[in-house]
């Protein structure tokens, strides 16, 4: 199973905000720090704001801040929200699988998917940014200064 790019980015943005030393970094700054296009980061931030996990303010003095709900959010719930309710395999689709009526694979994969989410459900964002992850995240958000010219 592979997470969607937007799911991965949502988790990384939330983790970045959880350890932010800045009051409210701008979406553009977070996108730059994460090495992703601004437009993609902006879409993910809009969804995180809609979910109540991030407070986003525009203009001077604006920026992104993690809400209390964001700090205590279940990683499993966040992943479920971004991944959607699709099954791991597509049995019905445009070309239905001829085995779909008597196949046990679909059910087994669905149970494995639920086990994956179930494992992530009790883990909160605050828990995944404790040491050693927190300091590494802080390092991502600071660009090394250029060497002085001699």
Contact (Cβ atoms closer than 8 angstroms) between residue 55 and residue 65: yes
Nearest Cα to Cα of residue 11 among 83, 85, 80, 75? 75
At residue 140 the predicted structure's pLDDT band, cuts being 50, 70 and 90, is: low
Average pLDDT of the chain is 84
Token pair recorded at residue 13: 């943005």
Degrees, nearest 5: CA angle 53-57-61: 130
- The pLDDT of residue 112 is 92
pLDDT band for position 82 (cuts 50, 70, 90): very high
Is the confidence at residue 31, as pLDDT, over 60? yes
pLDDT (0 to 100) of residue 37: 94
pLDDT digits (tens, 9 = 90+) for 56-71: 888 777 889 999 999 9
Sketch out the chain's domains with CATH numbers.
5-142 (1.10.10.10)
What string of DSSP letters covers 63-85? EEEE-HHHHT-BHHHHHHHHH-S
Count other Cβ atoms within 10 Å, centred on residue 61: 8
Q: Judge whether residue 20 has pLDDT over 70.
A: yes
The predicted-structure confidence for 91-138, as pLDDT tens digits, reads as follows 777 888 887 777 888 889 889 999 999 999 999 998 988 766 655 665
Judged on CB neighbours under 10 Å (0-12, 13-18, 19+), 147 is exposed
**Shortest CA distance to 63 belongs to which of 50, 73, 54, 51?**
54
Q: Decide: 148 and 103 in contact? Cβ < 8 Å.
A: no
For the chain, counts of helices (H) and of strands (E)? 8, 2
């Amino acid at each position: 199973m592979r997470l969607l790019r937007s799911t991965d980015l949502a988790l990384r943005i939330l983790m970045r905000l959880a350890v932010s030393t800045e009051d409210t970094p701008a979406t553009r700054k977070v996108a730059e720090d994460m090495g992703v296009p601004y437009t993609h980061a902006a879409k993910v931030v809009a969804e995180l704001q809609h979910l109540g996990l991030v407070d986003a303010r525009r203009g001077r003095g604006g920026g992104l801040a993690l809400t209390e709900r964001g700090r205590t959010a279940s990683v499993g719930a966040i992943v479920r929200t971004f991944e959607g309710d699709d099954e791991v395999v597509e049995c019905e689709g445009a070309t239905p699988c001829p085995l779909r009526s008597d196949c046990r694979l679909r059910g087994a994969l669905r149970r494995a998917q639920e086990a994956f989410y179930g494992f992530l459900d009790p883990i909160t964002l605050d828990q995944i940014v404790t040491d050693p992850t927190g300091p590494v995240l802080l390092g991502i958000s600071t660009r090394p200064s250029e060497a002085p010219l001699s």
